[in-house]
Chain A
Amino acid sequence: MTAATVVRVKNPKRPKSKWTPGQIVLTSLGVLVSAAWMTPLLWALLTSLKSETEAVEVPTHWVPEEWTAQAWKALFESGNITNWFVNSLVVSVCVTFIVLIVSALAGYGFARTEFRGKNALLGLVMAGLMVSPAVLGVPLFSTVQSMGMVDTYWGMILPQCAPAAMVYILYKFFQSIPRELEEAAFIDGSGRWRVFFTIILPLSRPSLSAVGIFTFISSWNNFLWPYMVTNNPDLMTMPNGIATVMNSYGIQWAQLMAGGLMAGLPLVIVFVFFQRQIVSGVAHTGLAGQ
C-alpha cells in the first residue's frame, strides 16, 4: 500500500513529453553524469577481459588489445569462488527468511497485542538500533565464541537475524492498518493467529518485500561480520573471500575484477528485474525512519 505510493515509478497518465530546450539540457546532463557513474564498472569489465600481464601494462589503456576470458576461467578453476557464491547464497537466503518471519511476528506483537512490559521492551528494541558488529564487534565475537559457533554457518547467520530496524519498520506499518479489519474477523470467530495470517500478512506484502529485499542486499554485501567470525576459506562469503583470499598474495587484477563483478552481478540482475520493488523498498525502509 504505502510502499507503492512512496516512489512513483510509472505514471501512465502523463503524455509523452516534448523535447523542450530545458529537457534537452537536463537529459544530456543526465547522460553525462550516468556515463561517468558507470565508467568504473566498465573499467572493471574491460580489465577482467585482459590477460594479467596486459592489465598492468604501462601506459594503461581502456580496450584490451587481445580479448581473453583467461581471468574468468582461472577464477572458476581455482574453485573457491563457486564455494563462496554458494555460501553467500545460503547465508543471505537464511538470514532473509528468518528476519522476515521474526520481524513480522514481533512487529505485529508490538503493534496490536498487549503483554506485560511491552513498552519497556519496545524501548529496548529502539536502543538496539544503535548496535552493529562495527560498534560491538569484539564482545559479539566473544559471545558467539562462547556459544561454540565460530567458523559455522549458524555463527554467520544468527547474529544477523535480530534487526531492530526491521521490527520497527513493520511495527509502524501494522499500526497503520485499520483495526476495524481485524475486529470484523474476531466477530466471525477467528483467533489472533488466523487474523495475522489471513488478513494482516496479505495486506503487508509491499512492506514485507521491502524488508526482505533490504535484508537480502545488506546480508549479501555484509563483510565485517563474516570476516570476524570465520577465516576458513571454505566457509567464506563472496565479499569476504574476495577481500581476504584474493587480496593476499600478489593481487591479480584481472581475476580480482572478474570476481568483483561476479559478487555484484546477482544483485544488479535482480535490480534490473525488480527495480520497482527495490526502489520503493529502499525508499520505504528509509522513509520509515523519518
Chain B
Amino acid sequence: MSAVDTVVAPAAVRSARAVDADSLRARMTRKVQHGGWFVAPFLVLFALFVLLPIGRGLWLSFTDSNISGTDASFVGFDNYREAFEDPLMWDTLGHSAYFTLLVVPCIVVLAFLLAVLAHHIERAKWLWRLCFFAPFLLPSTVAANLWQWLFNPGTGMINHVFGLETPWLTDKSFAMIAVVITTLWWTVGFSFLLFLAALQNIPQHLYEAASLDGANAWHRMVHITLPMLRNITGLVVTLQVLASLQVFDQVVVMQDFGPGPEESTRTFVQYTLEQGFTAYRVGYASAVSMIFFLIIAVVALGRMWLLRKREEGVR
C-alpha cells in the first residue's frame, strides 16, 4: 500500500521531499481545515431532530401548550411542581424501575451463562449463535404478541406445558413478571453476543499458563474469565439499564395498550405519551420528558464517571 511505498522510497526522492516539507505542511493544513463540510450533513439532522426537540421540549415544559400548539401561555414551574406532586408519575416511575431491577440481573446472568456454554461447545458454533440471537431479530411487538399468546389464559401453552393455572397477564403480581420473561427471551441474544465476543478475545495463553500452574476449571473461571469480562459486563449492565428504564413496546402490546391489571404495568414512557397524546397536555408531557431525560443522563454520566475513576485507579 502507499504507506509501504513511502518507507521504501529511494533516498534521493526522500531528500527532495524534505526540501518540500514546508510547502507540504502548508498544503496539508489547508486541506485539514474546512473539515466542517464533512460534519455538516450530520449536524443539520442532529440539530433538527435532537437539539431542536430538546430546546422545544424545555420551552414547552414551561407552558400549558396543548397538542395543536396554539394559545400556549407561560406557566413557570407549574408543570414541574404538578409532576412532582402527581402520585401517578411516581407510580409509573416505580413500575419502570421495578422492571429494570428485575430484568437487568436476569439478562446479565443468563447472557453470560449462554455465552460460556456456546463458547465451550466445539461443534456447530453457528447453530447456538443462531438460536440464542434469532429472537432479537423480531420486532418488539411481534415478540410481545407471541408471548401474550403463550401466556394467554385458557389457550396459553405456558400454563398447559407446566400444568399451571397462573393468571399471567391479568393478575397484578404476575403481569410484570410476564413482561420480564418476554423481554429476557427477546433481548438476551444481544448481550449474549457481546459476552461471546469478549470471551473469544481473552488470550488463550492465560488459560494455558494457569493450567500449568494447576488451576482447575473453577479457578480459571474466577481468576481469569470473570476479571477479563469486567469491562464488557459494565457495558452490558449500562446498556440494559438505559434500555429497560425506557421500556414501552412489550408492555403496552401485552396489555392491549391499557395500564395493566390494577394499573400495575403502566410505565413511565407510557405515562408521558398518555399525557401528551391522549390528554393533549403537551406542556405537561414535555416537563415529564425533561425529568426523564435528566434521569437517563444521570445514569449515563454515572457510568462515565465510574469508568474514568477506574482508569485513574489503574494508573
Chain A residues engaging chain B, CB cutoff 8 angstroms? 6-9, 14, 17, 23, 26-27, 29-30, 33-34, 37-38, 40-41, 43-44, 47, 55-60, 62, 98, 101-103, 105-106, 108-110, 112-116, 118, 121, 124-125, 127-132, 134-147, 158-159, 161-162, 164, 167, 178, 180-181, 183-188, 191-192, 196, 199, 217, 220-221, 223-224, 228, 238-240, 242-243, 247, 253, 256-257, 259-260, 263-264, 267-268, 271-272, 275, 279-280, 282-284, 286-287, 289-290
Out of B53, B126, B149, which one reaches A140, CB within 8 Å?
Answer: B53
Sample of 13 more A-B contacts, CB < 8 Å, known A7-B193, A264-B142:
A17-B122, A23-B121, A118-B35, A128-B51, A136-B57, A142-B56, A142-B286, A196-B38, A224-B269, A267-B137, A267-B138, A286-B194, A289-B235
B12 to chain A, nearest CB (A): 15
**What residues on A are CB-neighbors of B196 within 8 Å?**
7, 283
A143 touches B56 (CB 8 A): yes
A130 touches B293 (CB 8 A): yes
* A192 touching B154 in the complex, CB below 8 Å, given contacts A130-B300, A181-B3: no
A140 touches B253 (CB 8 A): no
Q: Of all chain B residues, which has the CB nearest A56?
A: B155
A1 to chain B, nearest CB (A): 13
A134 to B135, CA, bound (A): 22
The size of the chain B interface, using a CB distance under 8 A, is 105
B142 touches A109 (CB 8 A): no
Which residues, 147 to 167 on B, are CB-close (under 8 Å) to A? 147, 149-150, 154-157, 160
Closest 7 CB pairs of A and B: A113-B35, A139-B57, A109-B38, A239-B139, A106-B42, A283-B197, A34-B131
A112 to B39, CA, bound (A): 11
B165 to chain A, nearest CB (A): 13
What number of residue pairs across chains A and B have CB atoms under 8 A from each other?
A: 327
Contacts A/B (CB < 8 Å), 28 sampled? A6-B197, A33-B131, A34-B127, A34-B128, A37-B132, A40-B185, A41-B146, A56-B155, A105-B39, A113-B33, A132-B246, A137-B269, A137-B273, A138-B282, A140-B53, A143-B52, A184-B5, A187-B17, A192-B35, A223-B140, A239-B141, A257-B145, A271-B134, A275-B130, A279-B133, A286-B194, A287-B197, A289-B235
* A242 touching B286 in the complex, CB below 8 Å, given contacts A38-B131, A142-B60: no
Which residues, 35 to 51 on B, are CB-close (under 8 Å) to A? 35-39, 41-43, 45-46, 48-51
B262 to chain A, nearest CB (A): 22
B155 touches A58 (CB 8 A): yes
**What residues on A are CB-neighbors of B46 within 8 Å?**
124-125, 128, 162, 164
